[in-house]
Amino acid sequence: MCFERVKAHLNLHAVLPNLEDLVRLDPEARQLTRDWQIAIQFVVRQGPKAHVVFKQGACTVGRGLHVPPSVVLFFASPAHLNRMFDGKSNPVPLWGFTKLPFLSRDFAKLTDRLTYFLKPSEALLEDPSYLALNTRLTLNTAAYAVPELLAHRRELRPIAAGLPDGVVQLQVLPDGPSAYVVSADGKTSAGRGEPAQRPMARMAMKDMATANAFLSGKLDSFTAIAAGDVSIRGQLPLLDAMSLVLDHVPKYLS
């Protein structure tokens, strides 16, 4: 699959779901969306579909179509969608023109807030609450990116084909966020929080700062693992495969 199309899958299925945690955990985002009642449908021509629903102060992001949507955002191509995620273009609303002011003003504020938490600076990371949310969102993005890359990136086909079954958990100690990837019957999916099944492999990062540096590629992973800052246990081939996949994320989302 071409670069733009893979990136569109990552934007809709790995980045966009972070709105859920953002609305739940960032007071400003919570305040902004408190009274929203709207279902926004993203449609990309020859690309993925996803929807974002705001209802009673909560946000849910899902794959595919939502019926009925309040507004449909149409993107002429995966590249068009990606330009919007990079803040360089606007979608064409196909349906729900009355929502235009909402989209350009209120929803844009929320997506700006998401960008703020996803694109850190050294100064911002000094603030523990910023660090915590940035780390959580980065962890989510990583976990959600794995199934997308395995399904859509050609070079990773041999990795996908050889992936054993089982759950891989990524967690931040002592009580930080957790995310996981489930591999079953040649397919993978991802989730946040504690997995329902016992993990076959587990990666635990000793604290928020370590996790942040590790997930953003600032830490040499071999050194971090050898020194015990990041611990890996269980069926390590599953983790090896994950890390090969995650190495592709910065090509799309840096």
Partner 1 sequence: MKTYTFAKSQALFRRAAQVIPCGIYGHMSPAPLVPPTAYPFFAARGKGSRFWDVDGNEFIDYMCAYGPMVLGYNHPVVDEAVRKQLEQGNTLTAPAPIMVELAEYLVELIAGAGFAYFAKNGGDMTSYATMIARSATGRKKIVAIKGGYHGVASWMQGGGHHGVVDEDVENMIRIPWNDVAAFEKAIARHPGQIAGFIATPYHHPTFVDNELPAEGYWQNIRRLCDREGIVLIIDDVRCGFRLDIRGSHAYFGFQPDLVCFCKAIGNGYPISALVGTKKMQNEAAKVFYTGSYWFQAAPMAAALATLKELKRIDGPKRMLDYGKRLLDGLTEVARHHGLDLKTTGAPSLPYLRLTDDETLMQHQDWCAECTRRGAYFTSHHNWFMSAAHTAEDLQRTLDIADDAFKAIGTTSKGERRATNRARKK
Site string for partner 1, 134-173 (x = CB under 8 A): ---------------------xxxxx--x---x-------
Among 94, 100, 124, 226, binds partner 1 (CB under 8 A): 226
Question: Least distance (Å) from partner 1 to the CB of residue 113?
Answer: 36
Q: Which of 62, 84, 237, 253 binds partner 1 (CB under 8 A)?
A: 237
Closest of 10, 173, 16, 39 to residue 103, by C-alpha: 39
**C-beta of 16: minimal distance to partner 1 in Å?**
26
- Report the C-alpha gap between 27 and 192 in whole angstroms: 20
Q: Is 60:78 a contact under the CB 8 Å cutoff? A: no
Minimum gap (Å) between residue 217 Cβ and partner 1: 14
3-state helix/strand/coil string of 227-250: HCCEEEEECHHHHHHHHHHHCCHH
Beta-carbon-side half-sphere exposure of residue 57 (alpha carbons within 13 Å) = 8
Distance between CA atoms of 86 and 10, rounded to whole angstroms? Answer: 13
Q: Taking CB under 8 A as the rule, does residue 67 contact partner 1?
A: no
Question: In angstroms, what CA-CA distances link 149 with 39, 45, 247?
Answer: 27, 19, 10
Count of chain residues binding partner 1 (CB under 8 A): 28
Report the nearest approach of partner 1 to the CB of residue 180 (Å). 14
SS3 of 87-113: the string is CCCCCEEEECHHHHHHHHHHHHHHHHH
Residues 169-208, mask of contacts with partner 1 (x by CB under 8 A) = -----------------------------xxxxx------
Which of 118, 132, 225, 253 binds partner 1 (CB under 8 A)? It is 225
Cα of first residue to Cα of last residue in the chain, in angstroms, is: 19
Smallest gap, in angstroms, from Cβ of residue 242 to partner 1? 12
Residue ranges in contact with partner 1 by CB under 8 A: 155-159, 162, 166, 198-202, 220, 222-223, 225-228, 231-237, 244, 247
